Every structure is written in C-alpha cells, then in structure tokens.
Amino acid sequence: MTCSLLLVEDDAAIRTVLADALAHDGHVVTTAADGDEALALLRERSFDLCILDIMLPGPSGLEILESLRRRDEVTPVLLLTARSGESDKILGLELGADDYVTKPFSLRELRTRVRVLLRRVDRPASKPRGRFRIGDVDIDLDAYELRRGDELSRLSPTETAMLALLWQQRGRVVDRTQFLQEVWGGAGSVSDRTIDTHLLHLRQKLERDPKNPQWLLTVHGVGYRLAPEERP
C-alpha cells in the first residue's frame, strides 16, 4: 500500500535516513525541517500519516499536532520523542497523537509503527468495520465518528481500532495485552499508560458522564469491558 507521509524532523541526517527507509517501503515521503514549514504543508494538502518530532525550530511538534487536530481528527500522527520527555508523551496522546517512538529508536521499530497505523486507516469495502449503537450514541467505525443527537465526535484511528475490539468482545474483559496485539501490532514499547490514555479519551467521547461511566467500564487489575448493548 503506497501512502503519502509527512515527516517533520529538524536533524538533517535523521530526516534523510528515515525518509529513505520509508520511501524504500513504497511510500511517498514529504519532509519538513521546522514547524512553520510543516504547518504550511498541512494547509496545502492532506497526508495519510504524519510523523512529528516534538522538538523543532518554530512551532513544536505538539503545536503542529494541536493545530492539525482542530480540523482533522482522523489522520494518524506518530510522535518522535526524547527519552526524558515523559510529560511530552502524555500531552501528545492527550492532544490526539496515535502513537510515539522514543529516541533513539531502530528503523525496524519506526517502520513497524508506521505500518500498524496505516493498516488502521486502510478500509477496503470488503472489510467494513460496521455501525452500531451504544446507549444514545450511534457509532460508525467506517466513518471514524460517533454521534449523540446533533453532536458529532470524530474518532482517531487508534480510538476506532480500540472501540472495534471492545465491540467484538462486548460483555467480556479486554486486557492490555489484547489491545497491544490487536491495535499496536504487538509493539513491545507501548506502555500501559499509553493504552489507558487512549481509553480515557474514548470514554470522554462515548459517555455522558465519563467520571461515572455506564458503558466503557474499567475492570481493575485486569482491563476494560464494553457493557452489553442492551444495558439500560
């Protein structure tokens, strides 16, 4: 599958190595060396996936992510973070990033993360994810959205993949290992906190009162469970 990728990295050597590796995988790679250049590219065109270094000249990767998510909640975003930047990782997930890799990382790890993210947005007509209703919310996984009355919320590719898994297993507990395998393709460096943060965002969209959830339930010490559809 050939996809259009935006790679934003200020280190010229790293940018060249990553761009060459991704192009070798068959993708069309557009690069940017700073935040202003990246924002200009995102205003001009759309991409199948964005790879954003957090530390950039001009607007940071987090600022670019925040700007992108104001108008686009679907395009997957992979952050490149420093090992010491734990708060940046969490903030990035809260702003809508789908995943991150921590520097230094291997090309194999990056290419695996890219492949997993792109697989989530590959939606051939022969494999629809489906539409269903939970409580007063109508969910269309193929359109990456949920609707409560006139209120529409977009789902990120990661949220969509997690909700699809929960729906397939509704009424049963899905543990973090299952999320890791089914959503992240077994990428071993994805932390429990990353999984929990994505589920928190999903709960905020799904529940009327996220602090007292009715549908997306935590089973402490085990995982998460989507209550059966008929729950009052």
Task: Select the CATH number that applies to the domain covering 131-226 from these four: 3.40.50.261, 1.10.10.10, 3.40.50.300, 3.30.43.10.
Answer: 1.10.10.10
pLDDT for the residue 166: 94
pLDDT for the residue 197: 87
Q: Do domains 4-121 and 131-226 have the same CATH topology?
A: no
Displacement of CA 16 from its chain's centroid (Å): 24
Instruction: Give, as one character, the DSSP assignment of residue 58.
Output: S
- Tokens in use for 8? 């934003």
pLDDT for the residue 124: 44
Question: CA distances (Å), 17 to each of 23, 217, 229, in order?
Answer: 10, 43, 48
Which positions of the chain have pLDDT values less than 50?
124-128, 231-232
pLDDT tens digits, residue range 25-41? Answer: 999 999 999 999 999 99
pLDDT for the residue 129: 66
Q: What is the residue-averaged pLDDT of the chain?
A: 88
Question: CA distances (Å), 152 to each of 18, 22, 68, 140, 145, in order?
Answer: 36, 34, 18, 11, 7
Q: Are the beta carbons of 137 and 149 closer than 8 angstroms? A: no
Q: Could you give the 3-state DSSP secondary structure of residue 52? A: strand
Give the CA radius of gyration of the chain. 18
pLDDT for the residue 93: 85
Q: Are the beta carbons of 31 and 19 closer than 8 angstroms? A: yes
Domain ranges of the chain: 4-121, 131-226
- Tokens in use for 192? 């429990």
- Tokens in use for 27? 């993708």
CATH 3.40.140.10, applies to 4-121: no
Q: Please give the angle made by the CA atoms of 30, 155 and 37, to the nearest 5 degrees.
A: 25
Rounded to whole angstroms, the Cα distance separating 232 from 224 reads 19
pLDDT for the residue 231: 42
Q: Are the beta carbons of 229 and 138 closer than 8 angstroms? A: no
